[in-house]
């Protein structure tokens, strides 16, 4: 079994927006440099596998036909704008289907015990894509398609999606908002200050799925300690859900200086995040983690920061992690976490 399987192809670079657009094809080169470095150390059993295109049947488990047809038509016509910052070129439909396929494949590798963990290094990202609309550089919701595949085709009853991207994954949240078989946790910049303008802590799910959508909102400028504390705090909720597998929307845009982000998270915190996720998965679900790439736009640091995250995911323990127990979060973050407690106190223990 692979310790970690990556799914990647240069094909993901064929979808491109404006040259100055932060969601650049070159992002992937930086992340793959980190993957290659770790792989060349030969310390771990790592594979990099080529993606498969998604079968449209699986796309339809999340997106409506009219929407899929619309994306296909715009792409076929040579491309065009769908929102002010989300455009398509002639390859987008095809490449977005590969990104969804790679994420489903990442889930399949872990489900079939071929890999303990997997990471689909893809673009376009997916977590802002709703079942009927694109937005935030996303077209098809890669992680939702993988989660739905696990539930519908593999009989999973409890899939947890953990979204550590800087932004609220509105698409993923809404797709599963009425569902208990897919739990959604997102730690993200407060919607008052950041795209997509939703994802408040009082959005907790509906009817009998109340409590199964957890939004942890963080204020601008938050540092790595507070960010990691918030992740640790949130994992304590997911633990009570007892997921069979964990899917992670990995975004590096909380990093200090990210051109799209407003947080101030230091690179080392991503080492901590990888470690905490791995530790959590080892304890709860035999280490099963499926990652897919969302945002992260500070290109000159993407290699370093993704390497840290991956090393953490592989079980390496950062020296500073014990300080998490001792250090206190800032008053602002404590207030945010208290809001989550208040909203979820009827559903989870704190």
Residues in 282-321 that interact with Zn ion by CB under 5 A: 295
Residue 167 or 344: which CB sits closer to Zn ion?
167
User: The tokens of 112 are what?
Assistant: 């079939």
- Residue whose Cβ sits closest to Zn ion: 295
Residues in 25-54 that interact with Zn ion by CB under 5 A: none
Question: Residue 349's closest CA among 211, 208, 205?
Answer: 211
**How many whole angstroms separate alpha carbon 94 and alpha carbon 98?**
7
Residue 116 or 166: which CB sits closer to Zn ion?
166
| Residues 53 and 14 sit within 8 Å (Cβ to Cβ) | no
Q: How far is the CB of 82 from Zn ion (least distance, A)?
A: 17
Number of residues that bind Zn ion (CB under 5 A): 6
Q: Is 128 considered catalytic here?
A: yes
Say whether 145 sits in a helix, a strand or coil: helix
Residues in 212-271 that interact with Zn ion by CB under 5 A: 251, 253
Beta strands in the chain (DSSP E): 2-7, 46-49, 79-83, 86-89, 115-120, 159-163, 182-189, 213-218, 245-250, 289-293
User: The tokens of 2 are what?
Assistant: 């692979």
Q: Give the angle 188-189-190 at the CA atoms, nearest 5°.
A: 115
Q: Based on the shown chain and the rule CB under 5 A, indicate whether residue 167 belongs to the binding site for Zn ion.
A: yes
- Parallel, antiparallel or unpaired: strands 115-120 and 289-293: parallel
Q: How far is the CB of 346 from Zn ion (least distance, A)?
A: 30
**Which residues are 47's β-sheet partners?**
5
CA quadruple 70, 76, 77, 81: dihedral sign: positive
CA torsion 173-225-318-283 (nearest 10°) is -40
Residue 253 or 266: which CB sits closer to Zn ion?
253
Q: Give the angle 223-226-229 at the CA atoms, nearest 5°.
A: 145
Question: Residue 216's closest CA among 202, 197, 196, 195?
Answer: 202
Residue 46 or 250: which CB sits closer to Zn ion?
250
Residue 194 or 333: which CB sits closer to Zn ion?
194
Q: How far is the CB of 285 from Zn ion (least distance, A)?
A: 25
- Contact segment (CB under 5 A) with Zn ion among 166-174, 235-243, 323-331, 333-341 equals 166-174
| Residues 269 and 225 sit within 8 Å (Cβ to Cβ) | yes
Residues in 1-20 that interact with Zn ion by CB under 5 A: none
Residue 105 or 186: which CB sits closer to Zn ion?
186
User: The tokens of 130 are what?
Assistant: 């709703």
User: The tokens of 158 are what?
Assistant: 């409890």
- Contact segment (CB under 5 A) with Zn ion among 17-25, 78-86, 158-166, 283-291 equals 158-166
Q: How far is the CB of 162 from Zn ion (least distance, A)?
A: 14
Q: How far is the CB of 3 from Zn ion (least distance, A)?
A: 27
Q: How far is the CB of 169 from Zn ion (least distance, A)?
A: 8
Q: Which of 63, 127, 128, 229 is catalytic?
A: 128
Residue 165 or 203: which CB sits closer to Zn ion?
165
User: The tokens of 124 are what?
Assistant: 């376009």
Rounded to a whole number of angstroms, the CA Rg of the chain reads 18
Q: Based on the shown chain and the rule CB under 5 A, indicate whether residue 191 belongs to the binding site for Zn ion.
A: no
Say whether 253 sits in a helix, a strand or coil: coil
Q: How far is the CB of 350 from Zn ion (least distance, A)?
A: 27
Which one of 30, 111, 148, 165 is in contact with Zn ion (CB under 5 A)? 165
Which one of 27, 116, 123, 166 is in contact with Zn ion (CB under 5 A)? 166
Q: Which residues are catalytic?
A: 128
Residues that bind Zn ion (CB under 5 A): 165-167, 251, 253, 295
């Amino acid at each position: 079994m692979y310790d970690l399987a990556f799914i990647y192809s240069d094909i993901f670079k064929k979808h491109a927006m404006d040259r100055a657009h932060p969601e650049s094809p070159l992002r992937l080169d930086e992340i793959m440099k980190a993957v290659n470095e770790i792989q060349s150390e030969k310390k771990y059993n790592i594979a990099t596998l080529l993606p498969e295109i998604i079968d449209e049947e699986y796309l339809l488990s999340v997106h409506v036909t009219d929407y899929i047809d619309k994306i296909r038509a715009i792409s076929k016509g040579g491309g065009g704008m769908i929102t002010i910052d989300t455009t398509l070129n002639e390859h987008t439909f095809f490449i977005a289907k590969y990104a969804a396929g790679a994420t489903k494949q990442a889930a399949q590798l872990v489900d079939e015990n071929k890999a303990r963990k997997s990471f689909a290094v893809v673009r376009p990202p997916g977590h802002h894509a709703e079942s009927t609309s694109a937005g935030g550089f996303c077209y098809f919701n890669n992680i939702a398609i993988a989660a739905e595949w696990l539930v519908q085709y593999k009989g999973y009853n409890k899939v947890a999606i953990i979204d550590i991207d800087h932004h609220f994954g509105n698409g993923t949240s809404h797709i599963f908002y009425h569902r208990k078989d897919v739990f959604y946790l997102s730690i993200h910049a407060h919607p008052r200050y950041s795209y997509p303008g939703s994802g408040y802590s009082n959005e907790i799910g509906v009817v009998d799925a109340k409590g199964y959508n957890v939004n942890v909102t963080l204020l601008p400028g938050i540092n790595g300690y507070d960010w990691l504390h918030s992740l640790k705090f949130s994992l304590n909720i997911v633990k009570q859900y007892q997921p069979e597998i964990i899917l992670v929307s990995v975004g590096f845009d909380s990093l200090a200086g990210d051109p799209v982000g407003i947080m101030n998270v230091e690179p080392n915190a991503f080492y901590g995040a990888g470690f905490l996720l791995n530790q959590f998965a080892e304890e709860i679900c035999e280490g099963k983690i499926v990652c897919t790439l969302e945002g992260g736009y500070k290109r000159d640091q993407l290699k370093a920061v993704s390497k840290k995250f991956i090393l953490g995911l592989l079980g390496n323990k950062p020296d500073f992690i014990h300080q998490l127990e001792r250090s206190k979060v800032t008053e602002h973050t404590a207030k945010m976490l208290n809001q989550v407690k208040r909203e979820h106190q009827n559903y989870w223990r704190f």
